[in-house]
Amino acid sequence: MALGTATAPHELRFDTGRVCLDLLATTHPVERLDSVEVLRAWITGSGLVPPGTSLVHADPSWPVAFRELRGCIALLVRGRVGRPSGAAPGTPSYDLALARVNDLARVAPPAPCAVPGDDGLLVRRLDGPPGRAALLAAVARDAVDLLTDPVARAGLRQCEGDNCPIVYLDTSRGRRRRWCSSEVCGNRERVARHRRRAALTRA
C-alpha cells in the first residue's frame, strides 16, 4: 500500500520522540485518523496502551475527539517552532487551545497494573478497557509536560524536508538533527543534492 493511504500500523509514524508529537504527525502526508480502525492502531503503536489491549469499544466519536486534541496541540507546539500554522501565546486561539488541552489533561489517564505473564514474569496491563477521555488525557498530559519543560521545549524542531510539517524532539548529540526521519526526508534531501550535482556536472 502506498504511503499516504495508510490503514496499517506500520504506515503510521512513531519517531518524533513524544506521543503528542506523534499525534501531530498523523496529518502528513494526508489525514491518517480517518477511521476507528486506524485510530486503534495508532493508540496501540504509540504505546498509550500495552500490546493486546482490547479497543473494540472505540466508536466513531473517538477519531473526532483525537483530531480535535491534535488541532489544539498543533496551535501550541507549532507556535513554538515559528510555523504559520501555530499561534502566539496570548492570542485568543492560543488561549482557547491551551484551555482545552489543560481541561483534557485533568482526567486520570488509564491505570496500569503489573500481572504475571505466561512465562511468570510481570507484564504491564490496564485495569480495565481504557476510555476515550482517559486516553485523550494521556496525550494531553504529554503535551503539558513537553510545553512546560524548558529543556524539552528547547529541543523542538521543525523538519527541514521540503513541505514536511512534522515537528520532532531533537535529542541528538549537539542537537544537530535536521529531519523528522533520516530514512524519509533525509534520504529525499540526499537524492535531491545528488541530482543537483549531477546536473551541474553535465552542464
Segment 130-174, tens digit of pLDDT: 999 999 999 999 999 999 999 999 999 999 888 888 999 999 888
Reported residue count of the chain is 203
Quickly state the pLDDT bin for 180 (edges 50, 70, 90): confident
The domain total for the chain is 1
Asked whether residue 44 is assigned to any structural domain, the reply reads yes
Give the CA radius of gyration of the chain: 19
- What integer pLDDT is reported at residue 189 of this predicted model? 66
| Domain presence at residue 1 | no
- Ordered alpha helix ranges (H), the chain: 19-24, 36-45, 61-80, 92-105, 132-148, 150-154, 187-202
Residue 200 pLDDT exceeds 50: yes
The pLDDT value recorded for residue 192 is 61
Which residue type sits at 200? L
Q: Is residue 112 part of a domain?
A: yes
Identify the DSSP state of 111.
Answer: P
Measured in degrees and rounded to the nearest 5, phi and psi for residue 11 equal: -95, 0
The residue among 90, 99, 42, 94 whose CA lies nearest residue 67 is 42
180 in any annotated domain: yes
Does position 102 have pLDDT exceeding 70, yes or no? yes
What is the pLDDT at residue 185? 84
Q: Note whether residue 179 is domain-resident.
A: yes
SS3 of residue 89 by DSSP = coil
> Domain range for residue 171?
9-202
Q: How far is CA 79 from its chain centroid?
A: 16
Q: Does a structural domain hold residue 145?
A: yes
Q: How confident is the model at residue 193 (pLDDT cuts 50, 70, 90)?
A: low
In this structure, is residue 181 part of a structural domain?
Answer: yes
What average pLDDT is seen over the chain? 87
Within a domain: 56: yes
Tell me the backbone φ, ψ of residue 146, rounded to 5 degrees: -65, -50
pLDDT at residue 182 tops 60: yes
Q: What's the angle, vertex CA 52, arms to CA 49 and CA 54, rounded to 5?
A: 75
More confident site: 193 or 76: 76
Span 26-57, pLDDT tens digits: 998 899 999 999 999 999 999 999 999 999 99
Residue 5 has pLDDT above 80, yes or no: no
pLDDT for position 6: 39
pTM: 0.85
* 10 or 86, which is more confident: 86
> How many Cβ atoms sit within 10 Å of the Cβ of residue 128?
11
CATH number at residue 81: 1.10.3300.10
